Structure 1
Amino acid sequence: MTELDAWVTAFAAEQRRPEEVARWAATTADAILADGDVDLADLRPLLLEAVEEHWYAFLDRLTLPGQPFELVPTARTVALEIARRHLGLPLLLKIYQRAQEASWDFAVQVVEEAPSDLDRAGLLVWFWTKATAWFGSSVEQSVLLHQTETDRIRQRGDARRFEVVSRALGDRSVSPAELSAALDGHPIGVPGHVALVAHALTADAIEQLEPAINAVTRHPGHPRSVLVRPGGREVWAWLAAAERPDTLDGAGIDPTAVRVTIGVGGGGLDGFVAAHRDARAAQRVALAPGRQEPVTAYDDVAALVLVAHDPAAAERFTRTTLGGLADAHHARLRETVREVLTSADTADRLAERLGIHKNTIRYRLTQAERLLGHPLRERAGDLLLALDYHDAFLRA
């Protein structure tokens, strides 16, 4: 074994240590995300994984020469995700450019720290030749994947539809007639619009988005929905209807995979936009840590959406309103208080419905009023809002 071979073997072994891989992945991902032309912050976990896979595979390439090149799996996912977000090829190339620049800086540092008896200039040339070949093959295959996926999306007309809808939702620089044409004749001038947004909680759940929309909209008597695929983890939909669908039970939707939100707007372009705006706003609640509902309508959580815009103030309001009732071990008391405030049943009928003794109801209410410091019906509206916020955002 030559001195270079020995150095490469030792270098690869050192760099395969998990802490070294994690450090290198974080440095490279940060370099990629430093350019803020497009916000890719939500892709950071995917980029970290891609850099790690690239690095392990490249180290194998150094120590086991002659292996055929194969693009690492997560790099394939990155290329496809960029295409599905309707982001162009220049962005994908810029990601690799930033990674290559970070790699050059690292290579120079590594060579400077190599033993003095090695030919450092020759080592840098050798190392960077390997790296350049790796980047070249990775870019070539990533570009092919991106272009293939982009062509597929364009063939479905998603890009054009998304472009027109984005203009309608943004600066309104589109006429109702143009919007309708882009949406295959979907009526814009109707008295009302219902908008839906389906969001996948994980990348693996993206294929469940359209079935989730269909689970809510495809029922007898509902008008036909029109879909827009913006890319990423969402699908949008609109119904030409003045009222939201009455099928809000979420049957057939897995809430651990997909959440659907609904907004209702008036007629015309303004109503089309307002309905989507409310459906997006409802996501603030629908995606909260304590929520498990597959379907959330804006009208049902409007107050909660508003207070959630200022999380710090909302948490202060909630803890002040609930007092000791906010403590983690008082979940049963909070559930009983909610039942009492939202039910017209007497204590006896409520106890029968909940399957507990009526004295248990009275005991819990006495405890709750002691923790609150005032009668239950006093500021009942604030109390219910605080309970909603606690359950959605603060429940451990």
Structure 2
Amino acid sequence: MSGSSWLLRLVPSAAPPEPVCSPETLAAARAPLGPGPVGWAVEVARDMAAHIVRQVPEHGGPGAYPPFHRAVEATVLQALRGLLTEPEPRGALVVPEAVAGNAELARRNVPLERVLRGVRLGHAYLHGRLMEALDKEPDEVRIQESHRVSELLFVYADVQASRLAEEYVAERDRWRRGREAARRRIVDDLLSGRLVGGAVAARTLGYELARHHAAFIVTTGSPEATSTDELRLLAAELGRAAGAENLLSVAAGSAELWAWACWSAEPARDALAGLSRLVPERRPLRAALGPVGYGPEGFRRSHRGAREARRMDRFGHTGWLCDYADVSTAALLTADVEHARWFAARVLGGLGADDPRVRELRETLRVYLAEGRSPQGAAERLFVARNTVTYRVRRAERLLGRPLEQDTLEVRMALEIVRLLGPG
């Protein structure tokens, strides 16, 4: 200890401030160090905490400064003890006050890089104050100790940063899982139609139910290359583009996110219709949009509509954002896929065959009926001659086995089903 005995000569520059760390931490430091170095450490910790907060204000948020100050003070006392006795550097040396303060930063969602910046600033500040103290020592002590102190402080800072990073990630994940689980339970109750009090939902979800809601489902085709944060980011962009007042999102697995945007007054249809143009595509992400609904029932129905839009998106007939308003009829026709295939096969007969030429006849007939039986209108949409449309419609009638009657609702429905599901 002879080389490090100068540490025992450290004293505060004035009457030291009152310690803020626990009596146990203070007693453990006083035993090897004595009152002078402890007073010096308390003074330096006060100044260090203020210095870090000036550089990283997140450490001093509302209610956060006293615990942070305690963590800094305990850390400085532990560093002096380490410089004096040189214990083996390991994660267990990181003081409990620092671990507890770090957990609070994780729960407040302060970014990890800001947390670790605080560690680096503290290390640099303490190193500077120790070098100032060493400058007052004889040359042989200063030369011998400068390198040892610098090296050990670097090792201790590295150990602390590693331990705090591990604890931060673990605490953030625990907190998110607990918070997310509570939010998911409320959402599941709402989607099941169970009664949920507005105050309970608002407190747990941070989201008002007595609003107009539009649900989004954001998915990825590449979960191993996409994080939940990326899904949330796209949902947030969609909400902002739609002028939403608030957004709720809950993870529904590693590849799917459920979200709701809300408004006090019902949004204009135009606010939602152009979202795919307002928000850039982010491959491999896709999104489905439900219809606007009011209150808890609207919350549930909009999500159900978004689920149907997502189902229709799987047929590959939509862009990256599938709006339920654009596919509601198709969703209704294909809600029961097996029944829909039976229906189409019965109505279409030979026109439902899996053949490229028959497929061309089906599409021509579908467009012809959609155009109000106008050969010219169908020809323009299909980029063929009018006579070609007339010829194909006659061939389609022969495959149907009957002439097209005035009421062609069943035929139009069957043609749409086969277009979506393919021939059965």
Q: Distance in 2 between matches of 1:324 and 1:388?
A: 16
Following superposition of structure 1 onto structure 2, how do residues 187-198 of structure 1 map, counting pairs within 5 Å? 187-190=208-211, 192-198=212-218
Q: Work out whether residues 212 and 252 of structure 1, in 8 Å CA contact, stay in contact via their aligned partners in 2.
A: no
Q: Distance in 1 between matches of 2:378 and 2:343?
A: 29
Q: Name which of 321, 331, 345 aligns with 1:295.
A: 321
Q: Work out whether residues 290 and 304 of structure 2, in 8 Å CA contact, stay in contact via their aligned partners in 1.
A: yes
**Fraction of identical pairs, as percent:** 29
Which amino acid counterpart does residue 232 of structure 1 have in structure 2?
S
Partner of 1:175: 197
Q: Work out whether residues 215 and 253 of structure 1, in 8 Å CA contact, stay in contact via their aligned partners in 2.
A: no
Which amino acid counterpart does residue 228 of structure 1 have in structure 2?
V
Following superposition of structure 1 onto structure 2, how do residues 93-242 of structure 1 map, counting pairs within 5 Å? 151-152=172-173, 154-155=175-176, 157-170=179-192, 172-184=194-206, 186-190=207-211, 192-204=212-224, 206-207=226-227, 209-210=231-232, 212-213=234-235, 216-219=238-241, 221-241=243-263, 242=266
Partner of 2:409: 381
Change (3 A) 1:345 1:326: closer
RMSD: 3.5
Following superposition of structure 1 onto structure 2, how do residues 266-277 of structure 1 map, counting pairs within 5 Å? 266-277=293-304
User: Is 2:408 the counterpart of 1:390?
Assistant: no
* Contiguous gaps of at least 5 residues in structure 1: 1-144
Q: Work out whether residues 241 and 275 of structure 2, in 8 Å CA contact, stay in contact via their aligned partners in 1.
A: no
Q: Distance in 2 between matches of 1:336 and 1:215?
A: 40
Say which is worse superposed, 312-321 or 376-385, in terms of deviation.
376-385
Change (3 A) 1:370 1:214: farther
Q: Name which of 318, 329, 342 aligns with 2:344.
A: 318
Q: Work out whether residues 371 and 377 of structure 2, in 8 Å CA contact, stay in contact via their aligned partners in 1.
A: no
**Aligned to 1:213, what secondary structure does the other structure show?**
helix
Which amino acid counterpart does residue 187 of structure 1 have in structure 2?
E
Change (3 A) 1:220 1:315: closer
* Contiguous gaps of at least 5 residues in structure 2: 1-165
Partner of 2:365: 337
TM-score (norm 1): 0.52
Cα distance, 1:321 vs. partner?
Answer: 1.7
Change (3 A) 1:260 1:388: farther
Q: Distance in 2 between matches of 1:153 and 1:231?
A: 16
Change (3 A) 1:230 1:154: farther
Cα distance, 1:302 vs. partner?
Answer: 3.8
Partner of 1:278: 305
Kindly provide the CA deviation profile for residues 153-174 of structure 1, in whole angstroms up to 9, marking residues without a partner as x.
Answer: 7348433332322232236252
Q: Distance in 2 between matches of 1:340 and 1:248?
A: 31
Q: Distance in 2 between matches of 1:148 and 1:312?
A: 48
Change (3 A) 1:375 1:194: farther
Larger Rg: 2
**Aligned to 1:172, what secondary structure does the other structure show?**
coil
Change (3 A) 1:220 1:155: closer
Q: Name which of 375, 384, 387 aligns with 1:347.
A: 375
Q: Distance in 2 between matches of 1:376 and 1:175?
A: 55
TM-score (norm 2): 0.49
Change (3 A) 1:269 1:354: same
Q: Work out whether residues 366 and 416 of structure 2, in 8 Å CA contact, stay in contact via their aligned partners in 1.
A: no
Partner of 1:263: 290
Q: Work out whether residues 220 and 286 of structure 2, in 8 Å CA contact, stay in contact via their aligned partners in 1.
A: yes
Cα distance, 1:276 vs. partner?
Answer: 1.2
Q: Distance in 1 between matches of 2:396 and 2:317?
A: 23
Change (3 A) 1:259 1:382: farther
**Aligned to 2:396, what secondary structure does the other structure show?**
helix
Kindly provide the CA deviation profile for residues 296-318 of structure 1, in whole angstroms up to 9, marking residues without a partner as x.
Answer: 33344444434534332221111
Say which is worse superposed, 265-274 or 371-380, in terms of deviation.
371-380
Change (3 A) 1:355 1:307: closer
Q: Distance in 1 between matches of 2:406 and 2:238?
A: 38
Change (3 A) 1:213 1:370: farther
Cα distance, 1:149 vs. partner?
Answer: 7.0
Change (3 A) 1:295 1:344: farther
